[in-house]
């Protein structure tokens, strides 16, 4: 009997076909949005799941005694209760690396749009409000020769910083731990304290994971430290920024503009953003090129296939976020002989 897996949202048909070579697949081809109870019910008899950010916590795991892997098609995995995963012997995986370059591209697209008021310009043309030239028509902020601030210097942060050379920008960054000297040299980037980063950056990009410690890393105090000509771009996670504080800062002109791909409580968002001209809003789509989205889907499938004991990396998925669980599984046995956890 083939192991049973759940694919919780619609995905490329060729990826479903790949998975069907190994598994009995329950696929959400209609792309329905399930309630928490519906999702947990479908998960309850599965050995594995490929999901798209749905929360998986202790209650869901308790209802799924056969579950051995949850493959998240995302870089972040704050939707996982990792303590519960490890307690139940379930490995969680994610899809890092493949999103790096596309996400960095999009960060620059958002930053440039906010700085040069591209979205406002588009609306002006579409609505017929553009009638003539004037010296102060939609004046924005330059990028070339300015200071780029990067908060979070992991893979994506480094890719963002690397692009600054083409704009002759000074690069400053802050990270919990300072990058190796070789990385700083390659990126021509200098570490500074967080408050100094906020004060000195002309354009600040947030590229850090959401954790209890990083929630509201940017709030009213931090926004108050930024230049009135500065822009803020968030491609990281909703919750890193206090959205209410950002709305106030934008409305009061504390900063010049913002580009946001993520929001607190998304897909819901603070409706006050919709009344502001100086913010560019996109639907959590930074890695959304076709090539990258396909790479994410196939990597998520690879993780699932390996974790359930198939392929050249059987029982050793490359992107386990709680790898200590892997050592509890006997790598020489088939999935249907794994003991059911208590």
Tens digits of per-residue pLDDT, 191-229? 999 999 999 999 999 999 988 899 999 999 999 999 999
Q: Maximum CA pair distance of the chain?
A: 75
For CA atoms 332, 336, 339, 342, the dihedral sign is positive
Rounded Cα gap, residues 192 and 201, in angstroms: 11
pLDDT number for residue 327: 84
At residue 331, the pLDDT reads: 40
Q: Is residue 43's pLDDT more than 70?
A: yes
**Two tokens, residue 301:** 């499938």
Is residue 221 within 8 Å of residue 250, measured between CB atoms? no
Note if the bond before 57 is cis, omega within 30 degrees.
no
Contact assessment for residue 36 and residue 15, using Cβ atoms and an 8 Å cutoff: no
Beta strands in 52-169 (DSSP E): 69-72, 91-93, 147-151
- DSSP notation for 6-65: EE-S---HHHHHHHHTTSEEEE-TT-----HHHHHHHHTT-SEEEESS--B-HHHHHT-T
What SS3 class is residue 293?
helix
Cα separation of 305 and 290, whole Å? Answer: 22
| Alpha-carbon gap, residue 88 to 67, rounded angstroms | 9
Report the alpha-carbon distance of residue 300 to residue 50 in Å, rounded.
7
Selected residue with higher pLDDT from 286 and 1: 286
DSSP state of 267: T
Q: pLDDT confidence of 329, banded at 50, 70, 90?
A: low
Q: What is the DSSP letter of 75?
A: S
Q: Give the DSSP letter string of 198-242.
A: HHH-SEEEE-----TTTTTSB-HHHHHHS-TT-EEEE-S-TTSB-
Would you call 212 exposed, middle or buried from its count of C-beta atoms within 10 A (0-12, 13-18, 19+)?
Answer: exposed
Please, which pLDDT band fits residue 1 given cuts at 50, 70 and 90? confident
Total length of the chain: 342
Q: Identify the band that residue 65 occupies on the pLDDT scale cut at 50, 70 and 90.
A: very high
Domains of the chain (ranges; CATH) run 4-98+290-337 (3.40.50.720), 100-281 (3.40.50.720)
Catalytic residues: 237, 266, 284
Rounded-to-integer distance, Cα 148 and Cα 108, Å: 11
Report d(CA 174, CA 149) in Å as an integer. Answer: 8
* pLDDT one-digit tens code per residue, 243-281: 999 999 999 999 999 999 999 999 999 999 999 999 999
Q: Pick the more confident residue, 340 or 283.
A: 283
Dump pLDDT digits (tens) for 97-117. 999 999 999 999 999 999 999
Binned at pLDDT 50, 70 and 90, residue 328 comes out as confident
pTM of the model: 0.88
């Amino acid at each position: 009997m083939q192991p049973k897996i759940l694919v919780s949202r619609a995905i490329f048909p060729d990826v479903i076909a790949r998975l069907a070579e190994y598994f009995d697949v329950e696929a959400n081809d209609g792309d329905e949005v399930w309630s928490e109870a519906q999702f947990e019910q479908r998960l309850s008899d599965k050995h594995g799941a490929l999901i798209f950010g749905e929360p998986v916590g202790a209650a869901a795991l308790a209802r799924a005694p056969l579950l051995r892997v949850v493959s998240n098609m995302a870089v972040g995995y704050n939707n996982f209760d990792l303590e519960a995963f490890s307690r139940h012997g379930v490995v969680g995986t994610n899809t890092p690396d493949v999103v790096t370059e596309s996400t960095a591209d999009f960060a620059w697209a958002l930053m440039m749009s906010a700085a040069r008021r591209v979205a406002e310009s588009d609306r002006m043309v579409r609505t017929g409000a553009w009638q003539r030239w004037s010296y102060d028509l939609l004046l924005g902020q330059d990028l070339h020769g300015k200071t780029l601030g990067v908060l979070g210097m992991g893979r994506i942060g480094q890719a963002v910083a690397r692009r600054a050379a083409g704009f002759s920008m000074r690069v400053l960054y802050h990270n919990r731990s300072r990058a190796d000297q070789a990385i700083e040299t390659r990126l021509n980037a200098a570490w500074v304290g967080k408050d100094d980063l906020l004060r000195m950056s002309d354009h600040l990009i947030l590229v850090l994971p959401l954790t209890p410690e990083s929630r509201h890393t940017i709030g009213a105090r931090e926004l108050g430290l930024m230049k009135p000509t500065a822009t803020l771009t968030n491609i990281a996670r909703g919750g890193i920024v206090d959205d209410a504080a950002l709305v106030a800062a934008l409305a009061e002109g504390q900063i010049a503009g913002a580009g946001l791909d993520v929001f607190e409580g998304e897909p819901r968002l603070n409706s006050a953003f919709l009344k502001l001209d100086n913010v560019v809003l996109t639907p959590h789509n930074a890695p959304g090129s076709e090539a990258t989205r396909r790479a994410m889907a196939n990597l998520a499938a690879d993780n699932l296939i390996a974790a359930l004991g198939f392929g050249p990396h059987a029982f050793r998925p490359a992107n386990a976020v709680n790898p200590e669980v892997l050592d509890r599984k006997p790598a020489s046995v088939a999935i249907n002989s794994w003991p059911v956890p208590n």
